[in-house]
Amino acid sequence: MSVIRVATGEDAGPIAHVHVASWQTTYAGIVPEAYLAGLKETEREASWREWLTLDVDVFVAELEGEVVGFVSGGAIREPVEGFDAELFAIYLLREAQRRGIGMAFLRRLSEALKERGFASMVAWVLEDNSSGEFYSRSGGVRVASKEMEVGGVMLPVVAYGWSDLGMIGVDVAHGSV
């Protein structure tokens, strides 16, 4: 069983590990291989040490005492009409996927954002990322698109949006989560 908790400064290293490992598995064949090969956990750890001091919500998931994923979000960084918060990142190690942790992350983040006065959320996702189905199942709908530079290449990204944070993960047709 997984435990989801607020991330602390001591989680910077484990988060960096999940971040790099997830990018290397999730984006293989989408993002240039040289970029993925050049990702360094030590550099990500330094970034996460700083990130964890900012006004953002960051949660980690643990399985058997080990951090296997993280989610972060806060105030929207780039305006998308009708949305005030943003899911910045959600990553799970491959072996921790398909266990309900991703949906639990979305719910926990949405609760934290609601507590801070936010009402809605978007998530920018590489269009070729297979996670689009996950966002759709959780109630997200495509609301915008653009291109983003990653590793010297412009890649299409789409924004999935949830207009009501209270509806994330709710199966409207069956009234369940």
pLDDT the model gives residue 132: 81
Q: Does a structural domain hold residue 152?
A: no
Q: Does a structural domain hold residue 130?
A: no
Q: Does a structural domain hold residue 24?
A: yes
- Contact indicator for 68, 95 with CB cutoff of 8 Å: yes
- Read off the amino acid at residue 140: G
Q: What share of the chain is helix, strand, coil (3-state, %, to 5)?
A: 35, 35, 30
Q: How many CB atoms lie within 10 A of CB 119?
A: 15
162 vs 98 pLDDT, higher one: 162
pLDDT per residue over 75-91, tens digit each? 999 999 999 999 999 99
Q: Does a structural domain hold residue 175?
A: no
Residue 66 pLDDT > 50, yes or no?
A: yes
Q: How many CB atoms lie within 10 A of CB 144?
A: 16
Residue 74 pLDDT > 80, yes or no?
A: yes
- Contact indicator for 146, 99 with CB cutoff of 8 Å: no
pLDDT the model gives residue 171: 53
Q: Does a structural domain hold residue 144?
A: no
| Number of structural domains the chain divides into | 1
Q: Does a structural domain hold residue 153?
A: no
Residue 176 pLDDT > 50, yes or no?
A: no
Beta strands in 76-137 (DSSP E): 85-92, 121-126
pTM over 0.85: yes
Q: Does a structural domain hold residue 91?
A: yes
Q: What are the beta bridge partners of residue 122?
A: 86, 161
Residue 175 pLDDT > 80, yes or no?
A: no
With a pLDDT cut of 70, the percent of the chain lying above it is 95
Q: Does a structural domain hold residue 141?
A: no
Residue span of the structural domain in which 43 resides: 2-121
- CATH code: domain of residue 111: 3.40.630.30
Residue 158 pLDDT > 60, yes or no?
A: yes
5 vs 177 pLDDT, higher one: 5
pLDDT per residue over 23-58, tens digit each? 999 999 999 999 999 999 999 999 999 999 999 999
